Structure 1
Amino acid sequence: MIEEIRIDDLGVIGRAQVRLAPGLTVLTGETGAGKTMVLTALSLLLGGRADPATVRTGAPSAAVEGRLAVPDDAPALERAREAGAEVDDDGTLVVLRTVTASTSEQSGRSRAFLGGRSVPQGVLAEIADELVTVHGQAEQMRLRSPSRQRAALDAFAGTDHAVTLAEHRAAWAERAQVRDELDGLVSRAQDRAREAELLRLGLAEVDRVAPQPGEDVALAEEADRLGHAEDLRAAAAGAHTALVGDEDATDTVSAAALVDEARRQLEHGGAHDPALAALAVRAAEAGYLLADVATELSAYVQDLQADPARLDAVQRRRAELGTLTRTYGADVDAVLAWATSAAERLLDLEGGDERIAALRERLVALDARVEDLAARITGARSRAAGELARAVTDELAGLAMAGASLTVDVRPADEPGPSGADAVEMLLVPHAGAPARPLGRGASGGELSRVMLALEVALATAEGSHVPGTFVFDEVDAGVGGRAATEVGRRLSRLARTAQVVVVTHLAQVAAFADQHLVVTKSVADGVDVVTESDVRAVTGEDRVRELARMLSGQDGSATARAHAAELLAQSVGR
C-alpha cells in the first residue's frame, strides 16, 4: 500500500504532501490544477521514465519521496533487501526519486533511492510490478495487445496455472539451450576431428622425445662445461697452485702458507690479548677452508675430461628438445604443461560423440515435457476463458453495458513460444445484435475503460489469482457518464475492498464512492501558478458536498448541484 507521497518542484507543484489511505481514494480538482503531476510523481516512484521537462520552471531539480507498506511475505520485500535497501521494522519502504532540470550546462539526470540506498531505476520497476497496477490511457491501449489479453487470462487462471507456466518457460529455455549446444557440436564435428588429430600428433611427438622437467636447462649447462673443458682445467689448476703452491717450485708462496703464518703470529700475541686469540681461531678456520677448497679443486681437475662423444650426444638431445620448444612452449616445462592441457582437451574432443548422443536424448525428453506442459496450459486457459468471459460480461451489465458480452478465444498459435502454444484474443459484443469484434479493433475508449475495470474486478475476485496491493486508475471514466459513471464508481468501490485503489476522476458519480476524497487546487505566487502544502487537502462533510457540486455543475454554490451532490453521497453509502 502507498502511504504517502511528498512532491517538490514537479510541474505546477511547488511542494505538496499526499497522504493515501486504504480503500478507495479519489483525486479531483479543476483542469490544470496538478492532478496529473500527482500521477507523474507516482510514476517516478514506481520506476517510470523521468522527463526533465517536468521539473518546475526555475527549479534546479524535482524530488518525489514515497512510503510503501509492504507485506512481510511479499517477494518485493526480499528484492528490496537484495538491492541493499533498509526496511523499517513495520515493513515500510522509503522510495526517493530525483530529476535534474535540463540546462545548457547539463542534460537532465534521474537518480533513484530505495531504503536509503542508490539503486537502478529498473529495481523500482520490479518492485512496482509486484505491488502496484497502474491503469491509464496507455494501459487501455495495451489492453488491445493479444499478449496483454493472454496475460490477463493467465492471471485469472490462478496459482496452479502460474506454476505450470513457469515450468513451461523453464523447460522451453532449457530446450533452446540444449538445441544450441547440440547444433554447435554437430556443425563443428569436422573442426573437432581436425583439432583432435593435431593434438594426437603433438602428444605422440612429446611422448617420443620424453622430456624431463628442467632438462633443457641442465643440458645447456653441461654443454657449456664440455665445450670449455680446457679453459676450466686451467682455471682450476691455477687456483689450486695459488692456494697450496707449486711442488716443483721452491720459491713460491702459497695462500695456505701465508694464512698459517698469520695464525701463528696471532696465537703468539693471543697469549697476552684475548682479542688476538679470537682472531687466531678465525685464521685457523680460514686455513681449514682453504685446505678444503684446494682438495675439491684437485678432485675437479682429475675428474674433468674433454669428452667429444658426450658433447655430441648433449647437442643432439638439445636439438631434439628444441623441436618441441619451437612448437609447444618456450621451454621444456612449458611443453610439459601444454601436454597436460592437450590431453585433457583431447579427452573432451573424443567424448564429443557421447555428448551428442546424451544431448539428443535430453532433447527428446524436453520435447515431450514442453508438449505435455503446453497441453496442460491450453486446457487451463480453455477452462478459465469461459469463466473469465462470464465474469466480465456480468460486470459489464452492471457498468451500463446491458447486452454487451465478452468472449475469450483460445486457439493454436501460429508458432508456439515460451508462454505456450496458444493465441488468446478477447472479442467484445458492445450491444445486443452487434457482431463480436476484437478489442484491438472494435472497442471505443469508453468501452475499453469499462472492459478494463470489469477485468480488474473479475481478477480481484477470482480464487487463487494474484491481486496487487494497490491499483491506480487515470481516465478510467473516459467517455463514461450518467448511470454508467455511477456503476464505475460502484465497481471501484468493490475493488477497494481487497486492495488500495487510487483514482483520478472528473466525475462526481465516481468521486461519491470514495473512502477518502482529495482535492487538488492551485494558487498564484509571484504571478505563477503553484500547488503548495495547503493546496492538496482531504474534504469531508460540507466541503465534500461543495466539491461534488462543482464537479456536477461547475458552480459549488448552486443549490440544485449541492442537492444532487448530497443525493449521490447518500446513494453511495449503501454501495
Structure 2
Amino acid sequence: QDKEISEANLKPGEDEQLEADIRKLSHAEKIVGSVEESYQLLEGGGGNGLGVLPALSQVKKDLEEIGRFDDALQNAQKMVEEAYISLQEASYELRDYGESVEFSPERLDQLQSRMDVIYRLCKKYGATLGDVLAHQAKVEQELSEIENYDEDIAALEKEIAVLEEKLGRKAAELTRLRTAVANDLSSSIEEQLFALGMPKARFHIRVEQAEDYSANGRDDVAMFFSANPGEEEKPLQKVASGGELSRIALAIKTVASSRDSSVPSMVFDEIDTGIGGRTAQMVAERIALVAQYKQVLCITHLPQIACMADAHLYISKRTVEGTTATQIRPLSERERISEIARMASGADMTTASLDNAREMVSHAKMKKDAFKRDVLS
C-alpha cells in the first residue's frame, strides 16, 4: 500500500487543480470563441459595426467638447472616462487570456490519466486525496513499528524497569508512613475502648504487603480485635459482637473527630444497640466528646445518651385518614426533663423520676463543660 501510494507521487490539493485544468481544456474551443466575440464587441475590429470602446471614446470626446462651453455634464464626463478606462483594461485581459488558451488533446489526455490514478487510489484508501495521504502516513507508521520492533521492545522493557523501581520506592515510603499512622491510630482507639468499658480489649490495624500494586500502593489494611485477655487477635468482622462493633465504631469516630476536619457532621443511628447501664453512660460521654469537634446527630432510646444533648428533638408518628405521618418537634427544657424521665422509668413518671432526670441533665452539663475546657486547653 505504501509503495502504491508513493509511486503516485501525490501532492495535497492536486486533485482540485487537475479538475479545474480538465474543465478548462475540455471547453477550450467554447472559451476561445466567447473571448474573441467579447473582444470584438469591445474593440469593434471585426466588421460588425462600431465597437463599445471606439463608441465610448467618441462619447468621451463629445463630452469634452461640450465641457468647453458648459460644465453641467462634468459628472457624466467623469463616469464615461472611468468606464472607458475599466473597459479598456478588461479588453486587454480578454486579449491576453485568449492568447494563453490553447486546446491540446494530448495535454487533456495526460490530465485525465492522472485524475484516473487519483480516483483509483481514493476508491481503495479514502474518499478524498487527503484521506489517501493520511492512510499512507498511518501505513508508514505501522511499517516503522514493525521494522523497529526489537528496539522498541528493548526500550519499553528498560522504561518498565525504571518505572517499577520508582514505583517500589514510592510504595515502600507509603507503607512506612501508613504503618506508623496505623500504630498510632491503633493505640488511640484502644484508649477510647478503655474509656468505653473495654479495658482488656486489643485493637490493631495491620498493614501487610499485598500480592500486587494498586492505586493505593502495595498494602492490604485490615482491623484485628480481641475483646478478652488470652484471646488471639482476629479480623474485626469475624469476632466482634453487635455491641462491641457499636463501641469500636464510636471509638474510631471519637479519634477521627479531632483529626479530620473534612467532615463537619457525624450521625449515630441507635449506636446504643445492645448496651445499657454503665456502658451506656460511657458511650454517652464519648459522643459528647465527639460533639466538641463536630455537629452530632444521634438517634437513641437511652436516657443516659439523650441527657447529653444540647438540643432534644422528639420524633413521633400518627395516622390521619389512613396515612401515617412522622412529626419532629424540638422540646423545651421542661418537656425534655419529662421525656428523659419517661425514657428512664417508663410511662409512669413520678417526682423521683423527674428529680433523677434533672440530676442526669445537670451531671451531663458538668461533663460537657469539662470536655470543652479540655479541648480549649
**Displacement, 1:414?**
3.7
Deviations, residues 366-395 of structure 1 (Å, cap 9, x unaligned): 322221222122222323333333222222
Closer/same/farther in 2, CA of residues 466 and 378 from structure 1, 3 Å limit: farther
Which residue of the partner structure matches residue 436 of structure 1?
A: 233
Distance 2:177 2:74 in 1: 107
Match of residue 320, structure 1, among 114, 120, 144: 114
Deviations, residues 139-186 of structure 1 (Å, cap 9, x unaligned): xxxxxxxxxxxxxxxxxxxxxxxxxxxxxxxxxxxxxxxxxxxxxxxx
Match of residue 539, structure 1, among 332, 355, 369: 332
TM score, norm. by length of structure 1: 0.49
Deviations, residues 427-478 of structure 1 (Å, cap 9, x unaligned): 222233444332222222211111100111122345xx55522111101111
Deviations, residues 517-553 of structure 1 (Å, cap 9, x unaligned): 2323456766865456xx511332x433211111112
**Displacement, 1:423?**
1.7
Match of residue 494, structure 1, among 262, 271, 289: 289
SS at match of 1:214: helix
Which residue of the partner structure matches residue 363 of structure 2?
A: 571
Larger relative CO (CA 8 A, sep 6+): 1 or 2? Answer: 1
1:386 aligned onto 2:186: no
Distance 2:364 2:88 in 1: 120
Gaps of 5+ in 2: 368-377
**Displacement, 1:407?**
2.6
Distance 2:294 2:70 in 1: 106
CA contact (8 A) 2:243 2:274 kept: yes
Task: Please give the residue correspondences for 1:176-575 in structure 2 after superposition, counting only pairs within 5 Å.
Answer: 198-206=1-9, 214-225=17-28, 232=33, 254=49, 310-328=104-122, 335=129, 337-338=130-131, 341=134, 345=138, 349=142, 352=145, 353=148, 359-461=156-258, 465-466=260-261, 468-521=263-316, 530=325, 536-540=329-333, 542-555=334-347, 557-575=349-367
Matched letter for residue 296 of structure 2: V
CA contact (8 A) 1:509 1:568 kept: yes
Matched letter for residue 20 of structure 2: V
Closer/same/farther in 2, CA of residues 290 and 554 from structure 1, 3 Å limit: closer
Distance 1:300 1:456 in 2: 92
CA contact (8 A) 2:15 2:115 kept: no
Task: Please give the residue correspondences for 1:94-105 in structure 2 after superposition, counting only pairs within 5 Å.
Answer: none
Distance 2:219 2:306 in 1: 40
Matched letter for residue 493 of structure 1: A
Closer/same/farther in 2, CA of residues 422 and 281 from structure 1, 3 Å limit: closer
SS at match of 2:229: coil
Q: Percent identity?
A: 23
**Displacement, 1:255?**
5.1
Distance 1:289 1:408 in 2: 95
CA contact (8 A) 1:396 1:404 kept: yes
Closer/same/farther in 2, CA of residues 452 and 342 from structure 1, 3 Å limit: same
CA contact (8 A) 1:209 1:320 kept: no
Distance 1:305 1:531 in 2: 95
SS at match of 1:516: coil
Task: Please give the residue correspondences for 1:139-154 in structure 2 after superposition, counting only pairs within 5 Å.
Answer: none
Task: Please give the residue correspondences for 1:35-74 in structure 2 after superposition, counting only pairs within 5 Å.
Answer: none
**Displacement, 1:355?**
7.0
CA contact (8 A) 1:259 1:287 kept: no
SS at match of 1:555: coil
Closer/same/farther in 2, CA of residues 477 and 391 from structure 1, 3 Å limit: same
Distance 1:392 1:298 in 2: 101
CA contact (8 A) 2:175 2:219 kept: yes
Which residue of the partner structure matches residue 189 of structure 1?
A: none
CA contact (8 A) 1:243 1:290 kept: no
Matched letter for residue 557 of structure 1: M
CA contact (8 A) 1:475 1:505 kept: yes
Matched letter for residue 501 of structure 1: V
Closer/same/farther in 2, CA of residues 432 and 272 from structure 1, 3 Å limit: closer
CA contact (8 A) 2:337 2:354 kept: yes
Q: How many residues align structurally?
A: 356
TM score, norm. by length of structure 2: 0.71
Distance 2:105 2:187 in 1: 100
Distance 1:220 1:377 in 2: 73
Distance 1:215 1:479 in 2: 90
| Structure of greater Rg | 2
CA contact (8 A) 1:400 1:484 kept: yes
RMSD, matched Cα = 4.9
